[in-house]
Protein backbone atom coordinates (compact mmCIF):
# COMPACT_ATOMS: atom_id res chain seq x y z
CA UNK A 1 0.00 0.00 0.00
CA UNK A 2 2.82 2.39 0.91
CA UNK A 3 4.46 1.66 -2.44
CA UNK A 4 1.25 2.54 -4.31
CA UNK A 5 0.90 5.78 -2.36
CA UNK A 6 4.52 6.67 -3.14
CA UNK A 7 3.96 6.07 -6.85
CA UNK A 8 0.82 8.25 -6.83
CA UNK A 9 2.70 11.05 -5.08
CA UNK A 10 5.46 10.86 -7.69
CA UNK A 11 2.94 10.99 -10.53
CA UNK A 12 1.23 14.00 -9.01
CA UNK A 13 4.58 15.72 -8.63
CA UNK A 14 5.47 15.09 -12.27
CA UNK A 15 2.05 16.34 -13.43
CA UNK A 16 2.43 19.47 -11.31
CA UNK A 17 5.90 20.14 -12.70
CA UNK A 18 4.64 19.74 -16.27
CA UNK A 19 1.82 22.22 -15.63
CA UNK A 20 4.27 24.75 -14.21
CA UNK A 21 6.78 24.48 -17.00
CA UNK A 22 4.75 24.02 -20.19
CA UNK A 23 6.94 25.04 -23.14
CA UNK A 24 4.95 23.77 -26.10
CA UNK A 25 1.48 22.61 -27.05
CA UNK A 26 -1.78 23.37 -28.80
CA UNK A 27 -4.50 25.65 -27.39
CA UNK A 28 -8.08 25.65 -28.66
CA UNK A 29 -9.65 29.10 -28.32
CA UNK A 30 -13.37 29.79 -28.48
CA UNK A 31 -14.15 33.24 -29.83
CA UNK A 32 -17.58 34.60 -28.94
CA UNK A 33 -19.02 37.75 -30.56
CA UNK A 34 -22.18 39.28 -29.04
CA UNK A 35 -24.09 40.07 -32.24
CA UNK A 36 -27.04 41.85 -30.61
CA UNK A 37 -24.74 44.32 -28.84
CA UNK A 38 -22.67 44.78 -31.99
CA UNK A 39 -25.77 45.70 -34.01
CA UNK A 40 -26.78 48.20 -31.33
CA UNK A 41 -23.68 50.19 -32.30
CA UNK A 42 -24.98 50.80 -35.83
CA UNK A 43 -26.47 54.08 -37.01
CA UNK A 44 -30.22 54.55 -36.51
CA UNK A 45 -31.08 54.13 -40.19
CA UNK A 46 -29.06 50.88 -40.31
CA UNK A 47 -30.84 49.60 -37.18
CA UNK A 48 -34.24 50.23 -38.77
CA UNK A 49 -33.29 48.19 -41.84
CA UNK A 50 -31.99 45.32 -39.73
CA UNK A 51 -35.05 45.29 -37.43
CA UNK A 52 -37.01 43.14 -39.92
CA UNK A 53 -34.38 40.38 -39.57
CA UNK A 54 -34.11 40.57 -35.78
CA UNK A 55 -35.85 37.24 -35.13
CA UNK A 56 -33.29 35.43 -37.32
CA UNK A 57 -30.26 36.87 -35.55
CA UNK A 58 -28.69 34.74 -32.77
CA UNK A 59 -27.30 36.32 -29.62
CA UNK A 60 -23.76 35.14 -30.37
CA UNK A 61 -21.52 34.02 -33.18
CA UNK A 62 -19.05 31.41 -31.95
CA UNK A 63 -15.94 30.26 -33.80
CA UNK A 64 -12.82 28.32 -32.88
CA UNK A 65 -9.11 28.89 -33.44
CA UNK A 66 -6.03 26.82 -32.68
CA UNK A 67 -2.77 28.21 -31.34
CA UNK A 68 0.32 26.04 -31.80
CA UNK A 69 3.30 27.22 -29.76
CA UNK A 70 6.76 26.56 -28.44
CA UNK A 71 9.27 28.94 -26.86
CA UNK A 72 10.44 30.18 -30.28
CA UNK A 73 7.22 30.63 -32.28
CA UNK A 74 3.45 30.48 -32.28
CA UNK A 75 0.86 30.10 -35.01
CA UNK A 76 -2.80 31.09 -34.64
CA UNK A 77 -5.20 29.81 -37.27
CA UNK A 78 -8.86 28.79 -37.80
CA UNK A 79 -9.86 25.67 -35.88
CA UNK A 80 -12.86 23.36 -36.03
CA UNK A 81 -15.85 24.54 -38.01
CA UNK A 82 -19.18 25.39 -36.42
CA UNK A 83 -22.43 25.41 -38.33
CA UNK A 84 -23.51 29.03 -38.58
CA UNK A 85 -26.77 29.90 -36.89
CA UNK A 86 -27.48 32.61 -39.44
CA UNK A 87 -26.69 33.32 -43.08
CA UNK A 88 -27.32 37.06 -42.83
CA UNK A 89 -24.18 38.83 -44.00
CA UNK A 90 -24.25 41.56 -41.36
CA UNK A 91 -24.37 38.97 -38.56
CA UNK A 92 -21.39 36.95 -39.73
CA UNK A 93 -18.24 36.98 -37.62
CA UNK A 94 -15.36 38.97 -39.11
CA UNK A 95 -11.71 37.92 -39.20
CA UNK A 96 -12.61 34.23 -39.47
CA UNK A 97 -9.66 33.43 -41.77
CA UNK A 98 -6.85 35.16 -39.87
CA UNK A 99 -3.58 33.25 -39.65
CA UNK A 100 -0.88 34.83 -37.46
CA UNK A 101 2.68 33.54 -37.05
CA UNK A 102 4.75 35.14 -34.28
CA UNK A 103 8.52 34.77 -34.04
CA UNK A 104 9.46 35.56 -30.44
CA UNK A 105 13.19 35.65 -31.14
CA UNK A 106 13.02 38.30 -33.88
CA UNK A 107 9.88 39.90 -32.36
CA UNK A 108 8.21 39.78 -35.79
CA UNK A 109 4.74 38.76 -36.92
CA UNK A 110 3.51 37.51 -40.27
CA UNK A 111 -0.24 37.39 -40.82
CA UNK A 112 -2.61 36.30 -43.60
CA UNK A 113 -5.77 38.40 -43.60
CA UNK A 114 -8.77 38.60 -45.91
CA UNK A 115 -10.76 41.84 -46.06
CA UNK A 116 -13.75 41.94 -48.41
CA UNK A 117 -12.24 39.03 -50.38
CA UNK A 118 -8.94 40.88 -50.83
CA UNK A 119 -5.96 39.03 -49.38
CA UNK A 120 -3.22 40.79 -47.43
CA UNK A 121 0.14 39.56 -46.17
CA UNK A 122 1.00 41.61 -43.10
CA UNK A 123 4.65 41.61 -42.02
CA UNK A 124 5.46 43.75 -39.01
CA UNK A 125 6.95 43.93 -35.53
CA UNK A 126 5.09 42.43 -32.60
CA UNK A 127 2.46 44.77 -31.22
CA UNK A 128 3.59 46.74 -28.15
CA UNK A 129 0.94 47.03 -25.45
CA UNK A 130 1.49 48.67 -22.06
CA UNK A 131 -0.09 46.16 -19.70
CA UNK A 132 -1.06 46.79 -16.10
CA UNK A 133 -1.13 43.61 -14.01
CA UNK A 134 -3.65 43.08 -11.22
CA UNK A 135 -3.97 40.63 -8.32
CA UNK A 136 -7.21 39.03 -9.58
CA UNK A 137 -6.77 35.31 -10.27
CA UNK A 138 -8.98 32.85 -12.13
CA UNK A 139 -8.55 29.33 -13.46
CA UNK A 140 -8.81 28.80 -17.23
CA UNK A 141 -8.35 25.37 -18.84
CA UNK A 142 -6.86 24.13 -15.55
CA UNK A 143 -4.23 26.86 -15.47
CA UNK A 144 -4.04 29.60 -12.84
CA UNK A 145 -4.24 32.96 -14.61
CA UNK A 146 -3.64 36.56 -13.52
CA UNK A 147 -5.55 39.58 -14.82
CA UNK A 148 -3.95 42.32 -16.92
CA UNK A 149 -5.45 45.36 -18.65
CA UNK A 150 -4.00 47.05 -21.73
CA UNK A 151 -5.01 49.42 -24.48
CA UNK A 152 -4.78 49.38 -28.29
CA UNK A 153 -5.58 52.00 -30.93
CA UNK A 154 -5.21 54.66 -28.17
CA UNK A 155 -8.68 54.11 -26.67
CA UNK A 156 -9.73 50.43 -26.90
CA UNK A 157 -9.25 48.64 -23.59
CA UNK A 158 -8.32 44.95 -23.45
CA UNK A 159 -8.78 42.67 -20.46
CA UNK A 160 -6.47 39.66 -20.49
CA UNK A 161 -5.82 36.67 -18.26
CA UNK A 162 -2.42 35.05 -18.63
CA UNK A 163 -0.62 32.13 -17.02
CA UNK A 164 3.03 32.03 -16.04
CA UNK A 165 2.78 28.23 -16.05
CA UNK A 166 3.10 28.37 -19.85
CA UNK A 167 6.53 29.83 -20.50
CA UNK A 168 5.60 31.67 -23.72
CA UNK A 169 4.76 35.37 -23.98
CA UNK A 170 2.05 34.88 -26.61
CA UNK A 171 -1.69 34.70 -27.15
CA UNK A 172 -4.45 34.69 -29.78
CA UNK A 173 -4.25 36.97 -32.83
CA UNK A 174 -1.36 39.45 -32.33
CA UNK A 175 -1.75 39.75 -28.56
CA UNK A 176 1.40 39.18 -26.50
CA UNK A 177 3.78 40.96 -24.16
CA UNK A 178 2.81 39.45 -20.80
CA UNK A 179 5.05 37.15 -18.70
CA UNK A 180 3.22 34.03 -19.84
CA UNK A 181 0.59 32.76 -22.27
CA UNK A 182 -2.66 34.71 -22.60
CA UNK A 183 -5.58 32.30 -22.19
CA UNK A 184 -8.40 34.83 -22.25
CA UNK A 185 -8.93 38.16 -23.99
CA UNK A 186 -12.00 40.38 -23.69
CA UNK A 187 -12.49 43.56 -25.72
CA UNK A 188 -15.68 45.20 -24.37
CA UNK A 189 -15.99 47.79 -27.14
CA UNK A 190 -15.92 44.96 -29.70
CA UNK A 191 -18.28 42.79 -27.60
CA UNK A 192 -15.87 39.89 -28.13
CA UNK A 193 -14.00 37.37 -26.00
CA UNK A 194 -11.41 34.69 -26.72
CA UNK A 195 -11.03 31.96 -24.10
CA UNK A 196 -8.96 28.78 -24.05
CA UNK A 197 -11.15 25.67 -23.98
CA UNK A 198 -8.44 23.05 -23.80
CA UNK A 199 -4.67 22.76 -23.92
CA UNK A 200 -2.96 19.71 -25.38
CA UNK A 201 0.65 18.83 -24.63
CA UNK A 202 1.53 18.06 -28.24
CA UNK A 203 4.87 19.10 -29.67
CA UNK A 204 4.32 21.20 -32.84
CA UNK A 205 6.14 20.26 -36.04
CA UNK A 206 7.97 22.81 -38.17
CA UNK A 207 5.08 22.60 -40.67
CA UNK A 208 2.71 23.82 -37.97
CA UNK A 209 4.34 27.25 -38.18
CA UNK A 210 3.94 27.88 -41.92
CA UNK A 211 1.87 30.67 -43.46
CA UNK A 212 0.95 31.58 -47.02
CA UNK A 213 2.99 34.14 -48.96
CA UNK A 214 -0.04 35.08 -51.06
CA UNK A 215 -1.64 38.50 -50.76
CA UNK A 216 -0.66 42.14 -50.96
CA UNK A 217 2.35 42.76 -48.74
CA UNK A 218 1.80 45.46 -46.14
CA UNK A 219 2.39 46.55 -42.56
CA UNK A 220 -0.26 47.20 -39.93
CA UNK A 221 0.07 50.96 -40.41
CA UNK A 222 -0.13 50.69 -44.20
CA UNK A 223 -3.17 48.40 -43.93
CA UNK A 224 -4.87 50.95 -41.68
CA UNK A 225 -4.26 53.73 -44.19
CA UNK A 226 -5.47 51.53 -47.06
CA UNK A 227 -8.75 50.60 -45.38
CA UNK A 228 -9.53 53.86 -43.60
CA UNK A 229 -10.88 55.36 -46.81
CA UNK A 230 -12.89 52.21 -47.64
CA UNK A 231 -14.69 52.37 -44.29
CA UNK A 232 -15.37 56.11 -44.22
CA UNK A 233 -19.04 55.67 -45.21
CA UNK A 234 -19.75 52.99 -42.59
CA UNK A 235 -20.81 55.50 -39.95
CA UNK A 236 -20.37 54.41 -36.33
CA UNK A 237 -19.27 50.95 -37.47
CA UNK A 238 -16.23 52.24 -39.36
CA UNK A 239 -13.89 52.16 -36.36
CA UNK A 240 -14.92 48.62 -35.39
CA UNK A 241 -14.22 47.40 -38.92
CA UNK A 242 -10.72 48.85 -38.68
CA UNK A 243 -10.19 47.29 -35.24
CA UNK A 244 -11.23 43.86 -36.52
CA UNK A 245 -8.89 44.20 -39.49
CA UNK A 246 -5.93 45.20 -37.34
CA UNK A 247 -6.34 42.60 -34.57
Q: pLDDT tens digits, residue range 140-155?
A: 999 999 999 999 988 9
List C-alpha distances in Å: 188 to 17, 34, 156, 158, 191. Answer: 35, 10, 8, 7, 5
In a domain, 33, yes or no: yes
Kindly state whether residue 12 falls inside one of the protein's structural domains: no
The reply to whether 1 falls in a domain is no
At residue 71, does pLDDT exceed 70?
Answer: yes
φ and ψ at residue 130, rounded to 5 degrees: -85, 105
Residue-by-residue DSSP string for the chain: -HHHHHHHHHHHHHHHHHHHTB--EEEEEEEEEEHHHHHHTS-HHHHHHHHTTGGG--SEEEEEEEEEE-SSEEEEEE-S----S---GGGSPS-TT-EEEEETTTTEEEEEEEETTEEEEEEEEPPP---EEEEEEEEETTEEEEEEEEEETTTEEEEEEEETTB-----STT---SSSEEEEEEEGGGTEEEEEEEEE--PPPGGGG-----SEEE-HHHHHHHHHHHTTTSGGGHHHHHHHHT-
| Total number of domains in the chain | 1
Q: Is residue 16 part of a domain?
A: no
Q: What pLDDT does 6 receive?
A: 44
238 — pLDDT class (breaks 50, 70, 90):
confident
Give the mean pLDDT of 57-85.
Answer: 89
Q: Residue 81's pLDDT is what?
A: 87
Q: Answer whether residue 104 is part of any domain.
A: yes
Q: Domain range spanning residue 110?
A: 21-245
The per-residue pLDDT for 4 is: 47
33-57 average pLDDT score? 70
Q: pLDDT tens digits, residue range 94-127?
A: 788 999 999 999 999 999 999 888 899 999 999 9
CATH of the domain at 68: 2.50.20
Distances (CA, A) of 53 to 36, 46, 50: 12, 12, 5
Nearest-CA neighbor of 153 among 40, 238, 31, 46?
238
Q: What is the mean pLDDT of the chain?
A: 85
Instruction: Output the pLDDT for position 110.
Output: 97
Residue 167 located in a structural domain: yes
Domain-located, residue 3? no
Domain membership of residue 156 (yes or no) is: yes
pLDDT band at 84 (very low <50, low <70, confident <90, very high): low
Amino acid sequence: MKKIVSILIMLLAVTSAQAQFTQYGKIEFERKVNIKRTLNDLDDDQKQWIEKFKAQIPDYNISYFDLYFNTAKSLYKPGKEVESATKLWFAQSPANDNVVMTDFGSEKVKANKTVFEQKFLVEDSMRKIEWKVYDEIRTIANYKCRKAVGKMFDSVYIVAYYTEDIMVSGGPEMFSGLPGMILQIAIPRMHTTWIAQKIEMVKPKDTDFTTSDKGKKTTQKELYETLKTSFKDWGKYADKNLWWTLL
